[in-house]
Amino acid sequence: MENIQTTLQTNSEKVNFTEVDHNLENVMPTATEICHLWSSYMAECMSVAFLKHMVAKSKDPAFHKVLQFALNTSSQRVDSMENLFNVILHPIPYGFGEEDVDINAPQLFSEEFCVMYTRFTSKYILINYGFAFSDCTRSDFRQLFSGFIDGTKAVIATADNVLIAKGLLTKQPNIPVPKKTVFINNKGYYGSIFGANRPINAIEISNIFNITTFKRNMRALKLGFAQVVKSEKIRDYLIKGLHMADKQLDILVSFLHKEDLPGPEILDFRVTDSIDSPYSDRLMLYHVTVMIGYIAQSYGHGITNTARQDIGSAFTRLMIEIMKYTKDGVEILIENNWFEQIPQAADRQELTH
C-alpha cells in the first residue's frame, strides 16, 4: 500500500498543469461558438443603434453618463467581434447601422426609461454572455466573452448607482424571514391547475415578478414603436402585442396581488407623444421579436422552477401564446426580406442533387 501511495505521489508531482498552447489556425470554431458570436454581434449592433439616439437626446448629466458608457461598451464589442469574424474567415453579418437610426428625430422615450431599459436588457445580455463563455472552448472566444461579462457588469453597476440615487430602481417584493427550517409533509404542496392551499414561495415570486417586469418594459417599448412605425402591418402587429401583454399581465399580477404583494410599476407614461421615428421599421420589429423570444425563455425557466401546478400551467399557456406571436413577427421580417439568415449546417440534400 505504501509503495502504491509513493508511486501516485511521485506521478502527481511530475504532472504539469500549465496551460497547453494551441495553434488556433488548426482549431475550427464550433457551431456553438459561431452561434454565440453571430447572435451577440446582432444584439450589440441593435444596442449601438438604439443608444446613439438615446445619447443624442439625453440632457441629465447622470443619465447621459450611463447611456454614453453603454454606447461605448457596445461599440467596442462590435469592433472586437468583427476582428474575430475576420480571424475565423467568417463573413461579417449585415446587422444594423447608420441607416437604422436618426439621431435628429425627437425623443421617443424619457431619459429615465432609457436608463432603466438599458439596465434591464444588460441583465439578459449578462446571462447570455455567461452561457457563451461556458460553451466556448477556443481561447480567443473565451477571452472575448470573459471581457464582455466584465463590461456588462460595469454597465449594470453604473446604471444601478444612478437609478438608486434618483429613487428609480425597481424594488422586488419583500417576504418575512423564516424563523426556522421547515420540511414539507403535505403532498398537496403542488396543488392543482385550479390553485393551491399555500402562499407562493420565494422562487415563484421571483419568477413572476421578473417576467412581469420584462413585460412592463416591453409594453412601453411596443407602445412607443406603435406611435412611430411607418408600416401599418407592423403597427397592427405591435398593437396586437399590447393587447396580449395586458391580458398576460393581468394573469401574472393576480398571483402577486392574492398574496398582497406588489407588481412592478407601469412604465407607459415614460413614452413621449412623438410620432416621428428615430429607428427603422426593420430595427424595431427585429428587436421586438428577439426580446419577446426572451420572454418565452423566461416562461420556460419559470415552468421548471415552480412547485405550484396553477402557476406552471399559466406559464405554459402564456408561453405558447408568446411563441406564436414571435413567429408572426419573424414572418413579417421574412416578407420584407429583413430576416438575416443564421449560419447553418451544410444542406446535404442540395449538395447531393
Residue 195 · residue 310 · CB < 8 Å: yes
Question: What ranges do the domains of the chain cover?
Answer: 28-165, 193-335
Closest to 87 (Cα-Cα) out of 149, 147, 138, 133: 138
The pLDDT value recorded for residue 117 is 97
For 205-252, write each residue's pLDDT tens digit.
Answer: 999 999 999 999 999 999 999 999 999 999 999 999 999 999 999 999
Question: Cell 436588457 identifies what position?
Answer: 121
CATH fold of 28-165 reads Ferritin (1.20.1260)
What does the block give as the cell for 87?
Answer: 480571424
Instruction: Give the percent of the chain with pLDDT over 70.
Output: 92
Instruction: Report how far residue 274's alpha carbon sits from residue 140's, in angstroms, rounded to the nearest whole number.
Output: 44
- Give Cβ neighbours of residue 238 (< 8 Å, ≥ 6 apart): 222, 225, 226, 229, 288
- With contact defined as beta carbons under 8 Å apart, do 144 and 84 qualify? yes
Length of the chain: 353
- Rounded to 10°, the helix 111-135/31-57 angle is 160
Q: Which long-range contacts (CB under 8 A, 24 or more apart) does 138-143 make?
A: 138/24, 138/27, 138/29, 138/30, 138/33, 139/22, 139/24, 140/24, 140/84, 140/87, 141/29, 141/33, 141/36, 141/37, 141/84
pLDDT band at 21 (very low <50, low <70, confident <90, very high): low
pLDDT at position 19 is 58
Report the sign of the C-alpha dihedral through residues 66, 285, 265, 192, in that order. negative
In the predicted model, is pLDDT for residue 182 greater than 80? Answer: yes
Ranking 67-76, 182-191, 205-214 by mean pLDDT, the lowest is: 182-191
Mean pLDDT of all residues in 168-175: 91
Angle between helices 31-57 and 139-165 (to 10 degrees): 30
pLDDT at 94: 96
Pull the grid cell for residue 353. Answer: 442533387
pLDDT at 197: 75
Average pLDDT over residues 311-319: 96
| Dihedral over Cα of 253, 258, 259, 262: its sign | positive
Torsion of CA 272, 277, 278, 280, to 10 degrees: 140
For residue range 24-34, list pLDDT tens digits in order.
766 799 999 99
Reply yes or no on whether the pLDDT at 186 is more than 90. Answer: no
Which one is the CATH code of 193-335: 1.20.1260.10, 3.40.50.450, 3.40.980.10, 3.40.190.10?
A: 1.20.1260.10
Q: Fold match between 28-165 and 193-335? A: yes
On the question of pLDDT at 17 being above 50, the answer is no
Measured distance CA(290)–CA(164) in Å, rounded: 28
Phi, psi (deg, nearest 5) at residue 192 = -135, 180
Task: Identify the DSSP state of 259.
Answer: T
Q: What average pLDDT is seen over the chain?
A: 92
For residue 195, the SS3 value is strand
Report pLDDT for 194.
66
Whether pLDDT at 199 is above 50: yes
Q: How many whole angstroms separate alpha carbon 72 and alpha carbon 55?
A: 11
* Spatial CA neighbour of 118 closest among 207, 211, 221: 221
